[in-house]
Chains A and B, each alone.
Chain A
Amino acid sequence: MKKGLTKDLILNHGSDVLGYGGVLLCVILFGILSQGRLFNAYNLRILIQAACVYAILSMGAIFIYSMGYMDISVGAQLGVYSIMLILISNKTGSLLLAFGAVLAISLVCGLINGYVAVMLGLPSIVTSIFLMSIFGGIQVIAMEKIGINSISIEANMDLFADVKFMIFVIAVIAIISVYLFRFTQLGEYVKSIGANETATEYAGISTTKWKVIAYIFFGICVAVAAFMLTARSGAAGKGTGTGYAMDIMVALLLGGMPLSGGMKAKISSSLIGAFTYVILSNGLTLAGVSVEVGYVIKALVFLAVILITCRKKDGVLPR
């Protein structure tokens, strides 16, 4: 009976065990190796600061990955939005106006990502590659036009860089995400699309509509993440946002999210994954692990998670 329960736990809740177990393992392991420094007040503060943007992006991205899709334009979008925030804010003196402009563009991009892919019959990754190229180009051109490597914001963003405000934003986004994911049709249908898109369509559900809504919500999260990113460093440049698309994917995997999407997707994967990802980097530094060994460990963890979370019948990669 006990053996059967364990087997059931591993087979049916493997990703949950992995997500919660992974973060717990990291906390215990690095707590010991860092001689308790992992838990000091300063370190807890910087963990939250570092995880904030990842957590916000991951909570938006989970709606996309649940469908078995992915968006690799997120890094380039983040970079352009940060630069726009700074330029508009510096020009007008209004942070609100700057954020409003960024939010509007992010909504349009969400629409393009979701709708154009369906209209043209393209895999969503193709439209996200298109957006990545467009935004990457804009980012480079904008910075070369300005003529420096990085621009700073003139407005005082200390309030938004405060860890209490970051916790507040993470909590608000988490509440909205959980509500949408668990208690609305959006959550049900994105998982359903991920499990079997054809069957979902045959059930009379407009997959196009829900895809677009999912991408729009993700767009809002990207805009908020760009705001928090800018608040933290007070600057943006040619390379701001680089690598975030991959970081988000790794964070979700670490949280136990199957890349192929489907009914096993959980919103908790985003938060657990974001914090595991940050604790892993922070813990390796605190434990005195050298840079080279750190790379190897991260790669092994990534591989182990892939092996556990990939679904047997489908491919590992998103559509």
Chain B
Amino acid sequence: MINFKKLAALGLAVVMGVSVLAGCGADADSSAKADGDAKEAGTEKTSVETKHHKISVGLYTDHGRSVEAINAYLDGIDDVIDVEFNTFVLSTYDENANLTAVQNEISAGAEGIIMTADMGTEAILKECESANVYVAGFLNDYNMSFYTANEAVFGNEYFLGSVIDGPLDNKGYAEAVAADVIENGYKHVGVATFPDWAYPLQQDLANAFIAKIDEYNETAEEKIEVYEIAEVDFGTGLPATYFTDHSDMDCLFSVAAGASLVYPQMVSDNRTNIALYTTGFEATEDIENFRSSGNGTFKSICCSAPEAIAYPVCLIIDKLNGTTYSDLPAEKERVDCAAYQIISDDEMEQMKKTLYYTADYKDAAITGEDILSMCASYNPDATYEELKAKLLDLGI
């Protein structure tokens, strides 16, 4: 038995060694593949003389369609813009874990860090300042930093700004959902959001939706009943009693990851007959059951384009190259980007042609060449306002 154990352990150790080497090899392979992909996609290196940089991208999760799309995009642009990207996973709850992860990236040679989570930002910026590494945000409104540590974060010269996940004011989506709910005659509507402390902007969406319904109710003969807002837990999803407490619910507006945290509860409660309007996009059950497909539960989704990462990439490249936009504001900004607001089958067909859905760089709305032309380092005529305007072109 002991011999078997030792042999097994030895075998595993060998596998470990091979895996390490394979892992390193895979990295090189993927870079080579990216080169090939870039060429196939007709994005061969431009004549612009670029400087090589290394940027690490901290993602809030290690899986999902969004991550696949971001990875595909980074693989597609890296050769063109001469930036070596490395992705790593950030924690959405542990400041020290994020600090350690960023320190490891700096030690591995990162010159810039793009972060999709806010936890530990002050300590991370202190570390980056001492290591001369720049930080910018992506898919992240830095709400906590913005309101509780504005000077320490937004006033820090090593923090360059952030592009948030969609528009800062996304009430248009909430109102479009409300209009669709009214048009389709739903009368018993639930509303769900993540906790207010985590995503305060989502409360604005829920309130805008309810306000629109209230406006309709003022003149409607048959009013729409809106139930109390349910709080979606990051781990366990929608409260299990929400459907049983409201047995006549025929519609739910979940401003909180409907595909992963609400739909499973609907399936287990056999309530997939409820029309689900939601945010986020997993490209799994949400696309299989969208409107005229499958059971038709999903009526709308809303997410933002992975190409918005061009904003922090441009800011970091320029900073590393020692150049800056002539119109760059002194105050660091939280800029927004247009969202994919999908409320019809036609819009879903358009969505299927985006990088987010295909995870194929060929479908990118902002190419590597576009990024070069938007960087002040490589295009003296580039402006900050043009960069921001490009982000607003990304939606459907």
Instruction: Identify the A interface with B (CB < 8 A).
Output: 10-11, 29, 33-34, 37, 40, 42-43, 46, 49-50, 53, 143-144, 147-152, 229, 232-243, 281-282, 284-294, 296-297, 300-301, 303-305, 307-308, 310, 312
* B94-138 interface (Cβ within 8 A of A): 94-97, 99-101, 103-109, 118-120, 122-123, 131
Query: In the complex, what distance in Å separates the CA atom of A291 from the CA atom of B63?
Result: 10
Q: Are A300 and B12 in contact (CB under 8 A)?
A: yes
Q: Are A290 and B26 in contact (CB under 8 A)?
A: yes
Partner of B120, one of A37, A53, A147, A235: A235
Q: Are B24 and A33 in contact (CB under 8 A)?
A: yes
Complex contacts, B100 vs chain A, CB 8 Å: 46, 49-50, 281
* B1-18 interface (Cβ within 8 A of A): 1-2, 5-6, 8-9, 12-13, 15-17
Query: In the complex, what distance in Å separates the CA atom of A297 from the CA atom of B23?
Result: 10
Complex contacts, B120 vs chain A, CB 8 Å: 150, 233, 235
Residue B149 is within 8 A (CB to CB) of chain A in the complex: yes
Q: Are A291 and B99 in contact (CB under 8 A)?
A: no
Q: Are A237 and B20 in contact (CB under 8 A)?
A: no
Q: Are A235 and B95 in contact (CB under 8 A)?
A: yes
Which chain A residue lies CB-closest to B94? A239
Q: Are A152 and B93 in contact (CB under 8 A)?
A: no
Q: Are B23 and A293 in contact (CB under 8 A)?
A: yes
Which chain B residue lies CB-closest to A42? B107
Chain B: minimal CB distance from A279 (Å): 11
* Given A235-B120, A285-B108: A148 in contact with B94 (beta carbons within 8 A): no
Q: Are B88 and A291 in contact (CB under 8 A)?
A: yes
Q: Are B148 and A286 in contact (CB under 8 A)?
A: no
Complex contacts, A307 vs chain B, CB 8 Å: 5, 8-9, 12
Complex contacts, B96 vs chain A, CB 8 Å: 53, 229, 232-233, 240
Q: Are B87 and A33 in contact (CB under 8 A)?
A: no
Residue B91 is within 8 A (CB to CB) of chain A in the complex: yes
Q: B interface, how many residues as a size bin?
A: 35 or more
Q: What 0/1 readout, one digit per residue, does chain B (361-388) give for beta carbons within 8 Å of chain A?
A: 0000000000000000000000000000
Given contacts A149-B197, A242-B94, A287-B23, 4 further A-B contacts (CB under 8 A): A144-B197, A289-B24, A290-B26, A293-B26
Query: In the complex, what distance in Å separates the CA atom of A149 from the CA atom of B93?
Result: 8
Could you list 22 examples of A-B contacts with CB < 8 Å? A10-B6, A34-B108, A43-B107, A50-B103, A53-B96, A144-B197, A149-B119, A150-B118, A232-B96, A232-B123, A233-B96, A235-B119, A235-B123, A237-B119, A239-B92, A281-B104, A284-B20, A287-B20, A289-B23, A291-B62, A296-B19, A307-B5
Which chain B residue lies CB-closest to A49? B103
Complex contacts, A282 vs chain B, CB 8 Å: 104, 107
Chain B: minimal CB distance from A211 (Å): 30
Q: Are A237 and B12 in contact (CB under 8 A)?
A: no
Complex contacts, B95 vs chain A, CB 8 Å: 150, 233, 235-237, 240
Complex contacts, A242 vs chain B, CB 8 Å: 93-94
* Given A149-B119, A289-B27, A308-B6: A297 in contact with B94 (beta carbons within 8 A): no
Query: In the complex, what distance in Å separates the CA atom of A239 from the CA atom of B119?
Result: 10
Most buried by B among A40, A233, A235: A233
Partner of A293, one of B1, B19, B119: B19
Complex contacts, A152 vs chain B, CB 8 Å: 122, 148-149
Most buried by B among A11, A50, A149, A293: A149
* Number of CB contacts from chain A to chain B under 8 A: 153
Q: Are A42 and B131 in contact (CB under 8 A)?
A: yes
Residue B198 is within 8 A (CB to CB) of chain A in the complex: yes
Q: Are A288 and B5 in contact (CB under 8 A)?
A: no
Q: Are A11 and B122 in contact (CB under 8 A)?
A: no
Query: In the complex, what distance in Å separates the CA atom of A148 from the CA atom of B142?
Result: 12
Query: In the complex, what distance in Å separates the CA atom of A29 from the CA atom of B21?
Result: 10
Q: Are B107 and A239 in contact (CB under 8 A)?
A: no
Query: In the complex, what distance in Å separates the CA atom of A84 from the CA atom of B59?
Result: 30
Complex contacts, B144 vs chain A, CB 8 Å: 148-150
Query: In the complex, what distance in Å separates the CA atom of A117 from the CA atom of B118?
Result: 40
Query: In the complex, what distance in Å separates the CA atom of A303 from the CA atom of B16?
Result: 11
Q: Are B197 and A147 in contact (CB under 8 A)?
A: yes
Which chain A residue lies CB-closest to B91? A239
Q: Are B105 and A233 in contact (CB under 8 A)?
A: no
Q: Are B99 and A233 in contact (CB under 8 A)?
A: yes
Query: In the complex, what distance in Å separates the CA atom of A81 from the CA atom of B382?
Result: 50
Query: In the complex, what distance in Å separates the CA atom of A148 from the CA atom of B146?
Result: 12
Complex contacts, A150 vs chain B, CB 8 Å: 95, 118-120, 144
Q: Are A301 and B123 in contact (CB under 8 A)?
A: no
Which chain A residue lies CB-closest to B17? A29
Residue B36 is within 8 A (CB to CB) of chain A in the complex: no
- Across the A-B interface, give the 5 residue pairs with the lowest CB-CB distance, nearest first: A239-B93, A293-B23, A289-B23, A233-B95, A285-B104
Complex contacts, A294 vs chain B, CB 8 Å: 23
* Given A152-B148, A300-B12, A308-B9: A287 in contact with B24 (beta carbons within 8 A): yes
Query: In the complex, what distance in Å separates the CA atom of A151 from the CA atom of B144?
Result: 9
